[in-house]
Structure 1
Amino acid sequence: MDSAEQPQVLSVEGMALPPMAIRLPGGIHAIEVSLDEAERTAAVEQLVRDIYPRGEVPLWHAMSALYSASALEMLSAGVSFFGIGLYEIEDGGVAHCSLTVAVFESGEAEQDTVAQGIFAVLSPDPMRDVTWLDLPCGPAVSANSFRKLVIDGQYTKSGKDEELSMGQMQVHIPFSTGPYTAVITLDTASVEQWEEFTHAMAGIVASLEFPTDDSERVTL
């Protein structure tokens, strides 16, 4: 999971944010979730065919449904960036993940105060492994968790409903340049590659910067 050479400077539609730059691992394919529903659905379907060129229709349908539902949910939560990562693994299979970057108003400009508040809110949840982080851009809070999903039998080899384990890594990073908090979330069903994704996520959050010069800002 190699890192991209150039940082991507992200913005969120409808929000006058200070710049936020991040480096993403190679293999992450972006979807613009701010497209209208028809365009977004078509974009997801095309992307699935691009990244699974030898896949079959049931796989395309299953993955399109999964990513379309995720994109719609994220759009309603104010997320504008949605990435899909696919990586070959030793047995010839594919490890996949989804990556989102969301930004929320925190109402407080002091990074440490915001991070402490997030840590206090998340820590009591027994379903999350919550950790304080000291990143190059400032304090942050990570929260890892696992859950079970049920996949409809029409999309499984057995033809029966099957349980799927999902892992989530989420890092809350207060801006150093304003009262906002970035939330970077990586979801994966490839829990066997959890350690690799952990290293990838560590590289992603460590690369986050809050430039003071917004002349290089671009919109994904």
Structure 2
Amino acid sequence: MTAPEVSLVVVSYEIARELPRTLLSLAPPYQRDCPRGRCEIIVVDNGSARPPEAAAFASLDVDLRVLHQENPTASPVAAVNTGLAAARAPLVGVFIDGARLASPGLVAGALAAAALHPRPVLATFNYQLGPVLHYEAASRGYDQAAEDWLLAEIGWPADGTRLFDVATPEFRAGEAGPILESNGLFLPRALWDEARWL
């Protein structure tokens, strides 16, 4: 079997509602310029009461494995390391929160950016669905029903770029400021291996 160009490690915990959407947003044809074989997805469940199974996602046209973290803890670090150990590609993206949607150019963009430097560290900007950041959302009536309505309103997943129309960017100091949080962190496999021993 030919190795993929990029591995995506997705940590899952009690997100039965959200995980199918996340995986759809990471798989072709939603991901542009990402034919089957270019990308693999490794879901690592970190102790859900009803853990996901790979068969539930058989309709996705992607190489996908679901692993179950032994002795899960509150921290996702062990689950991330399990996913990294299983990854086969030279570039690995880690999604510490599996309840996030990707924009359609994420995988191709990460691969293109990684080619610009021999030791790239790539972090995606963080956007949160809804009119405000999540720490304010509940007090303003934003809930799962509101989120479902927003996605239906933009016709998701038909045009994933419309996510930006209904999301709030987490830029505390503007676009040029520091990134306080990123759910998509891409490093070459060798750099992940170096970081594991720091």
| TM-score (norm: length of structure 1) | 0.21
Bigger Cα Rg: 1
User: Which one has the bigger strand percentage?
Assistant: 1
